[in-house]
Amino acid sequence: MANSKYEYVRSFEQSDTLLPNTWIVVRIDGRGFHSFSNRYNFTKPNDIRALNLMNAAASAVVKEIPDLCIAYGVSDEYSFIFHKTTTLFDRRSSKLLSTVVSTFTAFYIHLWRVHFPPDIALQPPHLPTFDARTICYPTLANLRDYLSWRQVDCHINNLYNTTFWAMRQKGGMGPREVEEELKGTLASDKNEILWGRFGINYNDENEIFKKGSVVFCQYELEEPAEGRTDTLALEEDEATAVPDTEPSRTQKERAKKVRAKASVVVRHIDIIKDDFWERRPWISSGKP
């Protein structure tokens, strides 16, 4: 059949294929969450219900899109990482980011009432929306630096916010006064203010607030405690024994079984040190 005379409009579509063999980060961020969090009375500086909801929505996204190998979230943002080998949507940026951000938003709204009481219902025009961008990193080292940057940011902001709100709520100080006093302070100064004036040991604060949230596939039935490597040694050997050739049928069958047993988990742990990555080689190798 002949093309219609309108067909030429397709040629206006521009390619946005992302560079091959690079780690693709899709970072989403809540739009105007400063006022959104006030509208729904989020606890300051951290609302555990809001964070659990972010994590539930992110877990749903990771389950829904298997090409995602890890995600990291803090505050109103989440970074979703596609393994560098992904060919999903031919690596088209707009397709990848719009799928991630709309899936996330759909689950955020759907799961809202699981995390907030019935009297705090979402009402237009105060509905949650998120922006998104894609970023490509050529090496695993660059990707890890990106994730480390977000986790360090989480720590810096949380220490500041924890101190700020302790001075406001427990110290009865005004916002300008607190800002003035905190200007130019080091982490040690803030720890000292928290402990000296309010008896708060920052180390005892909730891990989810200090470290943010990591979402990934867990292939073991029981996750060993951080700091132990013995029980994982065997599985790690198997998981890193990546065949050069096309996997055999038994290998494929085994991989399928392992994947079926996998669960998507949320952890509040350090992802800056090697330990996290060494215990979970499938995240960087992309091979369960």
| Contact footprint for Mg ion (CB under 5 A) | 29-30, 33, 75-77
Candidates 34-42, 60-68, 137-145, 242-250 — which segment interacts with ligand DGT by CB under 6 A? 34-42
Examine residue 247 and tell whether it contacts ligand DGT (CB under 6 A). no
- CA 42/CA 115 separation, integer angstroms: 12
Bridge pairing between strands 77-82 and 263-267 = unpaired
What's the token pair of residue 246? Answer: 């096309």
Sorted by sequence, the CB contacts under 8 Å of residue 49 that are 6+ apart come out as 42, 115, 116
CB 42 → Mg ion: shortest distance, Å? 13
Q: Give yes or no for a contact between 208 and 51, defined as CB atoms under 8 angstroms apart.
A: yes
Q: Which C-beta is closer to Mg ion: that of 76 or that of 115?
A: 76
CB 133 → Mg ion: shortest distance, Å? 10
Q: Which does 42 bind (CB under 5 to 8 A by kind): ligand DGT, Mg ion, none?
A: ligand DGT
What's the token pair of residue 187? Answer: 């982490």
- CA 144/CA 214 separation, integer angstroms: 13
Over the window 51 to 80, marking each residue x when it contacts ligand DGT by CB under 6 A and - when it does not, the resulting string is x-----------------------xx----
Give the DSSP letter of residue 8: G
CB 287 → ligand DGT: shortest distance, Å? 35
Q: Which C-beta is closer to ligand DGT: that of 43 or that of 169?
A: 43
CB 76 → Mg ion: shortest distance, Å? 4
Coil, helix or strand at residue 133? strand
Examine residue 29 and tell whether it contacts ligand DGT (CB under 6 A). yes
What's the token pair of residue 188? Answer: 């040690």
Question: Does residue 247 have a cis bond before it (omega within 30 degrees)?
Answer: no
Examine residue 46 and tell whether it contacts ligand DGT (CB under 6 A). yes
- Amino acid sitting at position 103: T
Candidates 23-31, 184-192, 223-231, 268-276 — which segment interacts with ligand DGT by CB under 6 A? 23-31
Quick one: the chain helix, strand, coil %, rounded to 5? 50, 15, 35
Sorted by sequence, the CB contacts under 8 Å of residue 243 that are 6+ apart come out as 251
CB 131 → ligand DGT: shortest distance, Å? 7
CB 34 → ligand DGT: shortest distance, Å? 3
CB 164 → ligand DGT: shortest distance, Å? 11
According to DSSP, the residues that pair with 133 across neighbouring strands are: 27
Residue nearest ligand DGT, Cβ-based = 34
Q: Give yes or no for a contact between 206 and 155, defined as CB atoms under 8 angstroms apart.
A: no
Candidates 27-35, 105-113, 199-207, 258-266 — which segment interacts with ligand DGT by CB under 6 A? 27-35
Which residues sit at the interface with ligand DGT, rule CB under 6 A? 29-34, 37, 42-47, 50-51, 75-76
